[in-house]
Amino acid sequence: MTTRDETTNTRHVKGRVKWFDPAKGFGFVVAEEGGPDILLHANVLRNFGQSSVADGAAIEILVQQTARGMQAVEVVTITPPDEASGPPLEDAAAISPEEIAALPLEPARVKWFDKGKGFGFANIFGRSEDIFVHIEVLRRSGLADLQPGEAIGLRVVDGRRGRMAIEVAAWERAIHREM
């Protein structure tokens, strides 16, 4: 679906994230209607309140034609990729989406995250305990990477090896979701 806003010369486009590399600061979106790839710059994603986005995530964006091609100028919504894309996490297998949604979204800060290793840790504000963050939980939450010191929202459960994130949200998005 595409709609045009003649006053701002933007179009509303639905598509999927082809890939996004936080280290490079950009990625590309493929529109549902086809056509050339659409550049998604890290600044546009940050304005939405996220520092990364998972490959395959559904995305709605406002785009403009530039001298360099189609570019996203605003992110409207992001929906994480289908959960079936990854193996189930043992500690999360018995928890329903309704039970996850009922957990409090707690403010946290990323301690470290290593995308290559597939995990990292965060701390809930005011607590010293480490919360384990697995890459699959990150992907299912619609994110691709986390940066040290980044503010996030976590829904946390007690896993077999300690406290672990079951959902991760960019803090700016989490604030709006909870209101």
- Domain positions in the chain are 10-79, 82-176
d(CA 74, CA 79): 15
CATH architecture classification, 82-176 = Beta Barrel (2.40)
What confidence score (pLDDT) does residue 99 get?
86
pLDDT by residue (tens digit) across 23-64? Answer: 888 999 999 998 889 999 999 998 988 888 888 889 999 999
**CATH, domain 10-79, list 1.20.810.10, 2.30.110.10, 2.40.50.140, 3.40.50.720:** 2.40.50.140
> What pLDDT score was predicted for residue 84?
43
Range with the lowest mean pLDDT among 13-22, 49-58, 63-72, 128-137? 49-58
Residue 98, pLDDT > 80, answer yes
- Is residue 4 pLDDT above 70, yes or no? no
Tell me if 10-79 shares its fold with 82-176. yes
Beta strands in the chain, from DSSP E residues, in sequence order: 2-5, 10-21, 26-31, 38-41, 58-66, 69-79, 106-114, 119-124, 130-134, 151-159, 162-170
Q: What does the radius of gyration of the chain's CA atoms come to, in whole angstroms?
A: 17
